[in-house]
Structure 1
Amino acid sequence: GWPSEKARAAASRADPVIDAVTVFDDLASALADLNFVFATTARQRDGFKSVRGPVEAGRLLRARHAMGQRTGILFGRERFGLYNDEVGLADEIVTFPVDPDFSSLNIAQAALLMSYEWMKSGLEDETKTNFSGPDMKPASKEELHGLFAYLEGALEARGYFRPAPKKPKMIDNLRAVLTRAGFAEPELKVLRGIISSLDRFSPAMPRGDGSPGDDPRRLPAAAARARKAEAARLAGAGKDDDIPPLGGKGTDND
């Protein structure tokens, strides 16, 4: 029955729609003050009524509304739709281009489709969205070429370009892939950061809490030897400090 608290709970803050609902005793009374009515159906009906798709129907309803006409859409029952005599009270038929083997839509889906087409028919630009992605400046060719050089240098150091005679073609393919993507400036920075991380770290020496310079395995051999010698010197100095001087406290002269 109506009013229905269950319907209100499912309306998701659409209380004005629920509050505006009017229940009539029969269909003819519900249509009495309307100037034009569409009947929704998935089945072909006998008769002389025009049949339109939802896009065209939405535009037609919008045009009639702009002329001051009152319009409506008939939706059938969940199980078997509208009776023929009910379709006969409408001016035209609207049907949805769906798979003939699965042509039946429940009433919620049918109402959603027609409501969407009605809303869309009133938009100045049907391609406009309520929000858009970030506005990023496209990368310059200089920045893109810099990425080429940086990546190719990292790959060269790891022997990627093998066999050597195929290197020019491999570079051409690599540049073609990177050029086609149409990167923005921030995206190139992300890629350079990824390449830099792969260039400096490896599974054997992954990135830790410190910088690469804190790990002696990443230092040049000479610098590593220098650090090792300095560590040994400091360790030796610490041991000498533990030996008490002659004649001092803690010796046999006590």
Structure 2
Amino acid sequence: MAGTDSSRELVYAPSPAIILCEPQLGENIGAAARAMANFGLWDMRLVAPRDGWPNPSAMSTAARANHVIERVKVFDRLEDAIADLSLVYATTARSRDLAKPVLGPDEASNRLATHIEGGAKAGLLFGRERWGLNNDEVALSDAIVTLPVEAAFASLNIAQAVLVLAYEWRRASGRGALQFPAQMDPPASKEELVGMFEHLEEALDRSGFFKTAAKRPTVVANLRTMLSRGDFTSQEVRTLRGVFASLDRRHERPNPTRQKPEKK
């Protein structure tokens, strides 16, 4: 399947289903849909949403993630929502007595990526806003995913949790390359760097910076070593040479701080 969003084409690549269990607020559903869209997820499943479906608040909060909202599937039972999945991870910050593996978001996403790349289906399960998932719901999962949050403030908004896991999924799936890499100027050539060094050294000679001729080679070597660590671009070298030239001509300009002689 393919669709369009503004001027860019959407690609519905295989990805985990996002299952929200008994979500209460439409705004949270919409914000979760937006987070999914940001990172290329599109299969949202709702289990017994409190305010029913469709939900106008969810649609307005989704902020143009219409392709996610339009594909939402609603189920009465969690068992039905995950029936076609062969791997399900439950997200929770609470400790439990269940004998379930506990994974971090990076490891969970790597496992999800491997599972889905093999042609199987998987999903991430999220609980209610107020109290998350109960033990029976967690028992249906294959493992627990816990985010490394501050223990004293471990509760995340559903949309926030979806955003973090969606980001980790995109990174693990190999689709995490930056879409808009910074446009960098080309790095300065050695010829440009040497010209900058010599320009600075000549200016320092004229200013009397080198007090003794014997120490000049050592000071020059130290200056070149320091400047070589700068990883300069061509534009930065030109800028620095402009600075050197301006400082070198300073004596030619009137000193604004020098007081003018008083007229008698």
Instruction: Report the TM-score, using the length of structure 1 for normalisation.
Output: 0.69
Match for 2:244: what amino acid?
Answer: I
- 1:45–1:201 Cα change, 3 Å: same
Which residue pairs with 1:179 in the alignment?
228
Equivalent residue, structure 2, for 1:61: 112
1:162-219 deviation per Cα after TM superposition (whole angstroms, max 9, x unaligned): 577654443332211111113233321221122223333579649xxxxxxxxxxxxx
| Residues 108 and 158 of structure 1, relative CA distance in 2, 3 Å threshold | same
Matches within 5 A, 1:155-166: 155-162=204-211
Provide the secondary structure at the position in 1 that maps to 2:110. Answer: helix
Between Structure 1 and Structure 2, the one with more helix by share is 1
1:105: which partner in 2? 156
Does 1:90 find its partner at 2:163? Answer: no
Counterpart for residue 129 of structure 2: 78
Which residue is equivalent to 1:3?
54
Instruction: Tell me how far apart the structure 2 counterparts of residues 194 and 5 of structure 1 sit (CA, whole Å).
Output: 59
Match of 2:190 in 1: 141
* Percent of residue pairs bearing the same amino acid type: 48
Matched, 1:192 2:249: no
1:130 paired residue number: 179
TM-aligned CA deviation for residue 137 of structure 1:
4.2
Look up the match of 1:245.
none
Q: Secondary structure at the match of 1:123?
A: coil
Letter in 2 for 1:175: R
5+ unaligned residues in a row in structure 2: which ranges? 1-50, 256-264
CA offset digits 1:114-150 (Å, max 9, x no partner)? 11122222217x5x42233345444333332221121
Per the alignment, residue 43 of structure 1 pairs with: 94
Displacement after TM superposition at 1:82 (Å): 1.2
- Render the CA deviation track for 1:65-112: whole Å, top value 9, x for unaligned: 233333211112223221112211212211123333333322122101
Q: Which has the higher strand share?
A: 2
* CA distance in 2: counterparts of 1:121 and 1:148, whole angstroms: 45
What are the equivalent positions in structure 2 for 1:211-250 lying under 5 Å apart?
A: none
Counterpart check, 1:117 vs 2:168: yes
Distance, in Å, in 1 between the alignment partners of 2:251 and 2:145 is 63
Amino acid at match of 1:21: V
**What secondary structure does 1:37 align onto?**
strand
Structure possessing the higher relative contact order (Cα contacts under 8 Å, 6 or more residues apart): 2
Amino acid at match of 1:173: N
Q: How many residues align?
A: 204
My pick for the range that moved more, 94-103 or 156-165, is 156-165
Displacement of 1:40 after TM fit?
0.6
Return 5+ residue gaps in structure 1 as ranges.
Answer: 207-254
Q: Deviations over 1:16-40 (max 9, x none)?
A: 1011112222323322333221101
Higher Cα Rg, which structure: 1
> Which of the residues 201, 225, 246 maps onto 1:152?
201
